[in-house]
Amino acid sequence: MIYTIRNSFLKSRPTGLMSYVRKSTSGSSAMDYNRFLNPFSAKREPSLIRELTKIYANSPPGTIFLAGGLPNAGTFPFAETNVKLKDGTTFSLSGRSLEAALQYQPTQGYPPLVKKLKEFQIKTHNPPNWDNYEMIITAGSQDGLCKTIEMSLEEEEPIVVQDPIYTGTMAIVKPFRSRLIPIEQDKDGMCPDALRKALQNFFKDQDKRSSKGVPKLMYINPTGANPTGSVLTLERKKEIYKLACEYDLLILEDDPYYFLHFQKENPVSFLSLDTEGRVMRYDSFSKVLSSGIRVGFVTGPKPLVKMLELHMQVSTLHTSSLTQVIIHNLLESWGPEDLHGHFKSIQTFYKSKRDIMLDAAKKYLTGLAEWTVPEAGMFLWIKVNDVVDTYDMVMERGAKKNVLFVPGRAFMTDPSQPCQYIRASYTVPTPEEIDTGMARLADLIREEKDL
């Protein structure tokens, strides 16, 4: 597969994706990315000044930049920033790297970090379609996901989502009043059979009624799904990918817990399987380096990432330069082996926390509730036996008992329906707090049954 670019961004005024035409070298299916843009975002045009900032960032030394409205970094009061890591590694931002950290950067991201993350992505996922991908650095994965859905979805348009679903995704989708096509999950993640059936049924109905469109987006949180903790198996991923090709769906692979798994090997991602260019992948440093640093990155088909960039050109302009430079310098200081070692150490840490919660659940909740063992992520998804809905138990009586969980309804595609699940997080509480928390939950469940 190759892309040809019909118009350069600066020579003529392109209208959104019309500047890209996808051609299939094999003569097989070609993706029409215009389909994944709603009319609102299709009207976006590139900012000339932002494009010039990018050109300047990639220019040889000595290029004189009279184009932009950059403040002179010499007027900023910061002299130096020193960063010390817990392993003793230190680096300081001064001179050019401090200037980069304090100054505007290209919308796509701080160029040395973009370069590093591209290498990282190739090494981690070896995507078969790499030449047709681009990357953009966002303020966490939520930012990239939100902007993607907002550039693509139309009001009342259907969207395929895993069920239960991450609340942050529901919140993005809700104002669109979309018809959700919920696909059930079990301990191995989204069920391909359920997906096949749902799509077949949808298209059967679709023929009969006037259309609000067909689904074009499919949201999946494959590793350590929030809230279930499941990891979507490779076999299922392959089946789901095949269905996405059949029904021309773009897969939104929201994977912030990718490195927070409790398996021997990193999972094989949808990105690794993406021969057709129909995966937008959302990675994040939130769970592995810092959540407050707000750095994530989106990898996906060039035309779609370009449209995200146009969105960012008029919203955030770019992700914080300071945090991007800090992440870049950290990756530079550590190198791949240290980074891998860090991932291993947090996997061990969270696995032991998970096991503490599993032990406490077994001790106090046996007979009262059921759960599956989370294979990744931060949560235990608990089904309370013989209770219709957990909302009041958690929100009212739980708070009085000084223990807080999230009622399962928060993760339902239809939150008006009762739900007998709760989500418990094992990441922050101490072993003693986990033990006491589970004991209090057991009391709450018993009381609920007596009510």
Which residue ranges make up the site for ligand PMP (CB under 6 A)?
Answer: 140-142, 166, 168, 221, 226, 254, 256, 284, 286, 291, 296
Q: Which long-range contacts (CB under 8 A, 24 or more apart) does 237-241 make?
A: 237/268, 237/269, 237/270, 237/273, 238/273, 239/192, 240/190, 240/192, 240/195, 240/270, 241/270, 241/273, 241/274
Is the backbone of residue 221 left (phi > 0), alpha (psi -120 to 50) or beta? beta
Is the backbone of residue 192 left (phi > 0), alpha (psi -120 to 50) or beta? alpha
Q: Is 50 exposed, middle or buried (0-12, 13-18, 19+ CB in 10 A)?
A: buried
Residue pair 49/69 in contact by the 8 Å Cβ criterion? yes
SS3 label, residue 33: helix
Question: How many C-beta atoms surround the C-beta of residue 260 within 10 A?
Answer: 20
DSSP string, 66-87: -SS-PPPGGGSS---EEEE-TT
Integer Cα distance of 142 and 282 in angstroms: 8
Residue 104 vs 166, nearer CB to ligand PMP: 166
Integer Cα distance of 237 and 270 in angstroms: 7
List, in order, residues 6 or more apart from 86 with CB less than 8 Å away: none
Is the backbone of residue 317 left (phi > 0), alpha (psi -120 to 50) or beta? left
Query: To 5 degrees, how large is the angle CA 53–CA 59–CA 65?
Result: 55
CB burial of 245-258 (b: ≥16 within 10 Å; e: otherwise) equals bebbbbbbbbbbbb
